[in-house]
Structure 1
Amino acid sequence: MVSTSFPWLTAIIALPLVASFMIPLVPDKQGKTVRWYGLGVGLADLVLAIYAFWKHYDFQKPDFQLVENYAWIPQIGVNWTLAVDGISMPLVILAALVTTLSMLAGWKVTNKPRLFYFLLLIMYSAQIGVFCAQDMIQFFLLWEVELVPVYILIAIWGGPKRLYAATKFILYTALASIFILVSALSMAFYGDNFTFNMQELGLKDYSLTFELLAYVGFLIAYGVKLPIFPLHTWLPDAHGEASAPVSMILAGVLLKMGGYALIRMNMEMLPHAHVYFAPILAILGIVNIIYGALASFAQRNLKRRMAYSSISHMGFVLLGIASFTELGMSGAVLQMVSHGLIAAALFFLAGVTYDRTHTLDMDEMGGLAKKMPSTFALFTICSMASLALPGMSGFVGELAIFLGFTSSDAYTSAFKVVVLLLAAVGLILTPIYLLSMLREMFYGKEGKAVKEIFLDANPRELFITASLIVPIIAIGLYPKLITQTYDAKTVQVAQNARNAVPVVAQQMVSLPGLAAPQIPAAQPKLLGMIK
């Protein structure tokens, strides 16, 4: 663990939080000043995070760095403990970038602009706090704080069914959070050492039965946020009704919180249970990939089609986590960063289109290419990135996951062949539903919602999209740009996961009731499969 004399992470978290409570003091009549204020704070925090990591973070070390530890609620043993490593550091930058751009995307908000930017800044702080927290109760509180702004942002600035979508979101995510709290408290009280510190929790000698139960609790909680089928149904409704800035954050950051937590807690803190559940994650990943792709075909609402696309793409993250290989883990982290950029760009462009057409119904579109050529070009670039065109970040992430799973010695050849063939079906379906989306929107006869369009994307909208496309292409052409920031950590995580396998093999002999769970991958052959 590497500490610094200055509390960089606290500063990064506190800046947007403190700034949000200063908004009532900002002199503003029509929301023009407050939007500059919010954008300035977001940009300042992004620069601060980049500077702190550039100057004080060593990419070659897998250890936690920029460590801070302060007594917070000593009566119950809760500390303000922060640190970042190769898994969390890229996601902090992603969250800062996407949230800052979402503030610029909300430039035309005229309904309660002070409240709008107040909520965005609260989200900004909570999201970064989740990625940096090293105390389970601290993590849980920040996780919960992030839910409230999303609910209000959808309920006030959403579409016609906004209250239904917002209520469904808060019910799913808040109920799922109970599983985080129960699992965290159980781990804290386990054994003689009472602690909420994540690193100390990961060192406890849990029984295999306890690990399995805690793993299930975390899997349910983070499966809702990722989202994993069948816990996903809140996402299409939320995206379908949320405004473009909120959809950018939902797709670009919130889903990644689920993937991050699965790695941090399920995989790192409960490695023996992960041996059992990794095959299940692989199966769930395949279900996500194919189900999300097929469900996209049935959607006539543009943003709901993209939402199901996100479900499909996050299935690859599950495959990477289940791979037990360094390359697969690297691909999982890269896929999260890549999808965060691509999805944020696509949902923003959907918002640009909605501003002109006043509809998300693709049946009312058509012929947009002539009226909005710049938007057409940007939509095409981002769609190509989403379908994993070589030279784009999506291609690198999915390729790493495929190769990582293929090279894994944890599974039988038959299991790997089935998984990879089914995943390949998803890869084939992805360009079909994305290209058909482009065809219906931009080609053919003009739809009735297109006839009155006279304005293409403006400079602000071009800048936002370009700010996301540039790193998408840069990572696609030179993946080391991002992989060098986390390779040391993903190697360590994958090695630790493999080291847990022999221990589980011994326990399976002594616990025959757990020796053959009713899933193909956990039969004794899987210790065969899981060597």
Structure 2
Amino acid sequence: MLSALIWIPVIGGIIIGFLPEKQAEKARPLAFVFAGIILAFTFAIALQFDPNQSGLFLSESFSWLEQLGLTYSLGVDGLALPLIFLNSFLTFVAIYASSPKIARSRFYYALLLFLSAGTAGAFLAQNVLLFFLFYEVELIPLYFLIAIWGGTNRGYAATKFLLYTALSGALVLASFLGLVWLSGASSFDYEPLRSQMLPLGSQIILLIILLVGLAIKIPIFPFHTWLPDAHVEASTPISVLLAGVLLKLGTYGLLRFGVGLFPEAWAVLAPYLAIIAAISALFGALAAISQKDMKRVVAYSSIAHMAYILLAAATATSLSLVAAMAQMVSHGLISALLFLLVGVVGKKTGTRDVDTLRGLLNPERGLPIIGSLMILGVMASAGIPGMVGFITEFMVFRSAFNTFTIATLLCMVGTGLTAVYFLLMINRVFFGRLPQAFSDLPVVPWSDRIPAIVLAALIVILGLQPNWLVRWSEVETASLSQFHGEAVVSLESH
């Protein structure tokens, strides 16, 4: 069942890619079918999950390259399951949001399915070398999706993305290789490596290498510069996947491999990570205020909100780790909604310039439903109570406040700035007098509204009933926090 999440989209991508040219119009319906099957398998896995059980509740393991210590080991637990679900769901949304008349449709939809497969494989991998392989594989389809179907500067943005994230993968691999070599382990399997206790100095060096690699992926200031360019040039469905799921590979790595493999070194570096999180949160928020492109505003907002996950991970308590998982899902849903809506505005008006757009909330000649959904999305991002963004950010700040008080307060300032830059954007774009140039905007069909409405509903539902979100990860994050705490006690005793 776990392999199905990887190989069904691969098979689907191959079938779609080799469709005869005269049957290219079947690419989108077939992609829907395969994405629906993946989502159905994810539901089936979730139904088997016991939220009171710690550890893997489903696993697969086959010998592959024993000489290299590489095994085909997959598993799903409370850390992986929410992100697997997010990947399957947003892949379906991205396919739905793609234009029915997109050029080179067979190649496009095949790449979307390959991207889903690589991302799922990274979340499921229980062998660190296998994680690295999937971590790198997903770069290839995303590069082509930006380079071929992106904006005017797509080549530059795609190349910059590839160089940055390839360096990220190289650093992650270097850390894993160093861990296996210094520990004398016979394989790259995750669980045996957790029991290998290296000298603290070696742990710190390897963890720093790993953190820099993951910081590029998340991204964290100052390794963020590839993200705004990638978002601006990427098409709307690709921005949905990039912000909603792919950035989470970095934050997932913080918990799974940072806290899980280097607990003693994590305790030493945690204060510095909290400081970096505060700097990144403030930088992302302040940079968003000065942007003129709506997509850049949302992109810099992502940098700020991903920093909250780093703050929670640095704290490494049971509450903070479950808060980090909840914030990953929350940010995935909110950013996906915002990028979808910005895409509709750009498509209907021909621009995303906040200084050009005005009055789009006009009920007769504007985009009132899109504007209303955008207001809901920015309220969720700003942490307004009743929406999922509030409860996840509150959990992060509550769990980190006693440990990293100053860093938490600075991050809370970043949350306040979220309201500033989004209110500036909303006020300029949706309020005021609708210019004559935008007085005859095309009607937004319900087919374009449905994915945004579904995302908005999830944001509100999970905000009103957050236990439906946090219950998946509570036991597993408590176990990870306990493992970290035992390592800290051992460190202090020495």
The TM-score range, normalised by the shorter chain, is: over 0.9
Tell me the equivalent position of 1:153. Answer: 145
Q: Which of 54, 58, 77 lines up with 1:62 in the alignment?
A: 54
Cα distance in 1 for residues equivalent to 2:306 and 2:234: 20
Tell me the equivalent position of 1:48. Answer: 41
Deviation at 1:76, TM superposition (A): 2.0
Deviations 1:373-394 (A, max 9, x none): 1111111111111111111110
Which secondary structure does the structure 2 equivalent of 1:82 belong to? strand
Tell me the equivalent position of 1:473. Answer: 460
Q: Which of 408, 415, 418 lines up with 1:420 in the alignment?
A: 408
Cα distance in 1 for residues equivalent to 2:68 and 2:488: 35
1:152·1:166 contact (CA, 8 Å) conserved in 2? Answer: yes
Deviations 1:22-57 (A, max 9, x none): 114445647432111111111110111111221x22
1:391 is aligned to 2:386: yes
Aligned pairs (5 A) from 1:8-407: 8-26=1-19, 29=22, 31-54=24-47, 56-370=48-362, 371-406=366-401
2:277·2:407 contact (CA, 8 Å) conserved in 1? Answer: no
Deviations 1:346-375 (A, max 9, x none): 001111111111212112211111111111
More deviation in 62-71 or 334-343? 62-71
Which secondary structure does the structure 2 equivalent of 1:362 belong to? coil
Cα distance in 2 for residues equivalent to 1:239 and 1:24: 25
Deviations 1:453-476 (A, max 9, x none): 131x31112211122122211110
The structure-2 alpha-carbon separation of the partners of 1:493 and 1:449, relative to structure 1 and needing over 3 Å to count, comes to: farther
Cα distance in 2 for residues equivalent to 1:332 and 1:50: 23
1:28·1:34 contact (CA, 8 Å) conserved in 2? Answer: no
1:442 is aligned to 2:430: yes
Q: Which of 473, 480, 484 lines up with 2:471 in the alignment?
A: 484
2:68·2:187 contact (CA, 8 Å) conserved in 1? Answer: no
Cα distance in 2 for residues equivalent to 1:355 and 1:452: 14
Deviation at 1:485, TM superposition (A): 0.9
Cα distance in 2 for residues equivalent to 1:488 and 1:174: 34
1:78·1:138 contact (CA, 8 Å) conserved in 2? Answer: yes
More deviation in 18-27 or 298-307? 18-27
Deviation at 1:74, TM superposition (A): 2.9
TM-score, with structure 1 as normaliser: 0.90
Aligned pairs (5 A) from 1:508-523: none
2:111·2:145 contact (CA, 8 Å) conserved in 1? Answer: yes
Which secondary structure does the structure 1 equivalent of 2:212 belong to? helix
Which secondary structure does the structure 2 equivalent of 1:67 belong to? strand
Deviation at 1:288, TM superposition (A): 1.6
Deviation at 1:477, TM superposition (A): 0.5
Tell me the equivalent position of 1:517. Answer: none
Which secondary structure does the structure 2 equivalent of 1:369 belong to? coil
Cα distance in 1 for residues equivalent to 2:367 and 2:133: 44
Deviations 1:117-167 (A, max 9, x none): 010000010111100001112111111110011111111111111111111
Question: Structure 2 counterpart of 1:206, which letter?
Answer: L
Deviation at 1:501, TM superposition (A): 1.7
Question: Structure 2 counterpart of 1:87, which letter?
Answer: L
Gaps of 5+ in 1: 1-7, 508-531
1:15·1:41 contact (CA, 8 Å) conserved in 2? Answer: yes
Which secondary structure does the structure 1 equivalent of 2:72 belong to? strand
Question: Structure 2 counterpart of 1:103, which letter?
Answer: I
Cα distance in 1 for residues equivalent to 2:347 and 2:213: 35
Cα distance in 2 for residues equivalent to 1:249 and 1:449: 32
Cα distance in 2 for residues equivalent to 1:61 and 1:252: 27
The structure-2 alpha-carbon separation of the partners of 1:107 and 1:39, relative to structure 1 and needing over 3 Å to count, comes to: farther
More deviation in 71-80 or 381-390? 71-80
Which consecutive aligned stretches of 4+ in structure 1 deviate over 4 angstroms post-superposition? none
Cα distance in 2 for residues equivalent to 1:53 and 1:421: 36
Question: Structure 1 counterpart of 2:486, which letter?
Answer: N
Deviation at 1:502, TM superposition (A): 2.5
Which secondary structure does the structure 2 equivalent of 1:363 belong to? coil
Deviations 1:169-203 (A, max 9, x none): 00000012111111111112223432100111111
1:35·1:107 contact (CA, 8 Å) conserved in 2? Answer: no
The structure-2 alpha-carbon separation of the partners of 1:28 and 1:393, relative to structure 1 and needing over 3 Å to count, comes to: farther
1:244·1:348 contact (CA, 8 Å) conserved in 2? Answer: yes
Cα distance in 1 for residues equivalent to 2:293 and 2:31: 31
Cα distance in 2 for residues equivalent to 1:317 and 1:108: 36
The structure-2 alpha-carbon separation of the partners of 1:388 and 1:275, relative to structure 1 and needing over 3 Å to count, comes to: same
The structure-2 alpha-carbon separation of the partners of 1:174 and 1:306, relative to structure 1 and needing over 3 Å to count, comes to: same
Cα distance in 2 for residues equivalent to 1:427 and 1:110: 37
Question: Structure 1 counterpart of 2:112, which letter?
Answer: L
Which secondary structure does the structure 1 equivalent of 2:215 belong to? helix
The structure-2 alpha-carbon separation of the partners of 1:77 and 1:429, relative to structure 1 and needing over 3 Å to count, comes to: same
Question: Structure 2 counterpart of 1:505, which letter?
Answer: E
1:13·1:125 contact (CA, 8 Å) conserved in 2? Answer: yes
Cα distance in 2 for residues equivalent to 1:107 and 1:80: 36
Cα distance in 1 for residues equivalent to 2:8 and 2:102: 25
Cα distance in 2 for residues equivalent to 1:362 and 1:339: 23
Deviation at 1:307, TM superposition (A): 0.4
More deviation in 334-343 or 203-212? 203-212
Cα distance in 1 for residues equivalent to 2:285 and 2:342: 19
Deviations 1:292-334 (A, max 9, x none): 1100011001101100000011111011111232211111110
1:364·1:447 contact (CA, 8 Å) conserved in 2? Answer: no
Deviation at 1:418, TM superposition (A): 1.8
Which secondary structure does the structure 2 equivalent of 1:368 belong to? coil
Cα distance in 1 for residues equivalent to 2:272 and 2:76: 29
Gaps of 5+ in 2: none
Question: Structure 2 counterpart of 1:274, which letter?
Answer: W
Q: What count of residue pairs does the alignment treat as equivalent?
A: 491
